[in-house]
Amino acid sequence: MLEGLLIGLQTALSLQNLLMVIGGCLIGTFIGMLPGLGPMSIIAIMIPVAISMGDPSAALILLAGVYYGAIFGGSTSSILLNAPGVAGTVASSFDGYPMARQGKAGKALTIAAIASFAGGTIGALLLMVFAPMLSSVALLFHSAEYFALMVVGLSAIAAFAGTGQVAKAMLMTLLGLIMATVGEGALFNQPRFTMGLMDLQSGFGFITLAMAMFALPEALFLVLKPKDAGSADGEIKDLRITRQEAKSIAPVIGRQSIQGFFIGVLPGAGATIASFLGYAVERNIAPKKEQEEFGKGSIKGLAAPETANNAACTGSFVPLLTLGIPGSGTTAILLGALIALNVTPGPRLMLDEPQVFWAVIMSMFIGNLVLLILNLPLIPYIAKVLSVPRNYLIPFILFFTLMGAYIGQNNATELLLLVGFGIFATILRFADYPLAPLLIGFILGGMLEDNFSRSMQLYDGVSFIWERPMTLGLLVIAILLVILPSYRARRAKMRAQGVADGD
């Protein structure tokens, strides 16, 4: 591990990669602050830039920096304007915004930055410990287990979608998988489902789809319903916190780093759930007197979600780097970028390309440090971006989505596909269909089919399902994951029907 750390440090500390971290964090903070633009959109927009750099470590470092920056920027707008730019920072506005209203905006930002830093750093430490362990287990896996593992991942994403949403998430995942079968697959040199169109020969472009699923609907929502983001009135000053305050948030940060990290590791959970859960847990275990302060500007109530969301972001890299299976929309986009750069994340990544693996982990530490010492003092100036008029902002967002899709494929038909899918995605969002599962399904589709086909060929049929106990076990877990939530909801309803209402 020490050797890996040194390789990583060497790669991450090269001038180019340092600039990538700093640049990524700054860009992420800038854009993440804008209400309505989440990390997925920002990363989707940055991908063409990252891919054209050609160096996988630098690209991944840049994108990871953007990811962290976006979460940090999102908390800034949550605190200052009560307008979270990112779903993962909604919980930060519960106590951050009241603090800002009381004139303690500077203090709130500092607490957010420290909590994010601690969450991210502790998360990265846990990642260093757990990723190699998981990877060595994963090396024992065959294609049959890989197939089963991906099925588990995809069903977990559907299962965590929430009550009444499981079927929708399932359908979206399957739609993503179906879309992945369009075009010429690697396994059979034969175009499928192209309807005779030359433009579909190579399948749908993944950047186009990512833009259409996230960036475009978000921009259209901004047009449809202008968020009345109040102005960030008042100076941001007095960034210091007292020793007393530091002492009271330290245990919160410790607990939430660990809890957030493990929630982040689970597929489909991610930063949003981690931050809400973190907030709820800390409120419940706080002493009675402090409990009343939650929601009115409690520093613990701000530190908890901030720590948890950053730790969860780091945690979500575990399945990506060790198994090559993304658990969230953001990591799915990162996976797509890596595949485009000829790097296949998975257990062999640590053996074959240790510099990529360790450089990413090292750049997490550097990125967190950059956010703390560079972005925090700059925040009063960066916050000025919040006053860019939307008349200029929205055309630019749309332009960047178009550019991203065009540069990726160099094909104007791609732009028409982007608009078409974008409209479709917006309608899906109206009806509360989750969009991340579609993209995750699309990105995993090729690998899922390859592993499935390989196992079918090795075992001359589907007998691999019962001949390999681990595969069978994983598939049973996948089925349980999908069925249990709806079964439990149904049983709860049955029970409720038998009981008279209390009042």
Partner 1 sequence: MALDRWIALVLLGICLIYGYAAWFTMDDALAPFMRRNPIWPSTFPKVLSVLAIVAALVILLGIEKSEQKIGDIDYRRLGDYKIGQALMLLGLMVAYALLLRPAGFLFSTVGFLVGGSFILGERRWIMMLLVSGIATGIVWYLVQVVLGIFLRPLPGFLVGG
List residues binding partner 1 (CB under 8 A).
Answer: 48-49, 52, 163-168, 170-171, 174-175, 177-178, 181, 185, 187-188, 190, 192-193, 220-221, 223-226, 389-392, 394-396, 398-399, 402-403, 406-407, 410, 412, 415-416, 418-419, 422-423, 427-433, 449, 452-453, 456-457, 459-461, 486, 489-490, 493
**Nearest distance from residue 189's CB to partner 1, in Å?**
10
**Nearest distance from residue 433's CB to partner 1, in Å?**
7
Residue nearer to partner 1 on the CB measure, 22 or 114: 22
Residue nearer to partner 1 on the CB measure, 348 or 384: 384
CA dihedral for 388, 395, 52, 4, sign (positive or negative): positive
**Nearest distance from residue 136's CB to partner 1, in Å?**
30
Residue nearer to partner 1 on the CB measure, 379 or 418: 418
Residue nearer to partner 1 on the CB measure, 126 or 448: 448
Say what the alpha-carbon torsion angle 474, 316, 31, 337 is, to the nearest 10 degrees: -60
- Minimal CA–CA distance to 317: which of 279, 278, 365, 351? 365
Residue nearer to partner 1 on the CB measure, 312 or 325: 325
The number of residues making up the chain comes to: 503
Residue nearer to partner 1 on the CB measure, 8 or 191: 191
**Nearest distance from residue 161's CB to partner 1, in Å?**
11
Distance of alpha carbon 145 from its chain centroid, rounded?
Answer: 25
- Minimal CA–CA distance to 92: which of 33, 149, 147? 33
**Nearest distance from residue 182's CB to partner 1, in Å?**
9
**Nearest distance from residue 215's CB to partner 1, in Å?**
12
Residue nearer to partner 1 on the CB measure, 429 or 468: 429
**Nearest distance from residue 490's CB to partner 1, in Å?**
8
Residue 191 parent element (H or E): strand 191-192
Q: How far is Cα 72 from Cα 121, in angstroms, rounded to an integer? A: 14
Residue 65 parent element (H or E): helix 56-81
Report, in this order, helix, strand and coil percent for the chain, each rounded to 5: 75, 0, 20
Residue nearer to partner 1 on the CB measure, 3 or 460: 460
Q: Would residue 183 be called left, alpha or beta, if left means φ above 0 and alpha means ψ between -120 and 50 degrees?
A: left
Compute how many other C-beta atoms are within 10 angstroms of the C-beta atom of residue 72. 34
Cβ contacts of residue 458 below 8 Å, gap of 6+? Answer: 143, 144, 464
**Nearest distance from residue 179's CB to partner 1, in Å?**
10
Q: How far is Cα 96 from Cα 88, in angstroms, rounded to an integer? A: 14
Q: Which two tokens stand for residue 243?
A: 């020793």
CB 91 within 8 A of CB 276: yes
**DSSP 3-state of 183:** strand
Residue nearer to partner 1 on the CB measure, 378 or 427: 427
Q: Which two tokens stand for residue 69?
A: 């920056």
Q: How far is Cα 121 from Cα 108, in angstroms, rounded to an integer? A: 20
Q: How far is Cα 214 from Cα 40, in angstroms, rounded to an integer? A: 7
Residue nearer to partner 1 on the CB measure, 371 or 405: 405
**Nearest distance from residue 223's CB to partner 1, in Å?**
5
Q: How far is Cα 125 from Cα 365, in angstroms, rounded to an integer? A: 9
Cβ contacts of residue 147 below 8 Å, gap of 6+? Answer: 448, 451, 452, 455, 471
Residue nearer to partner 1 on the CB measure, 384 or 490: 490
CA distances from 450 to 1, 143, 278 (A): 32, 8, 39
**Nearest distance from residue 256's CB to partner 1, in Å?**
28
**Nearest distance from residue 432's CB to partner 1, in Å?**
6
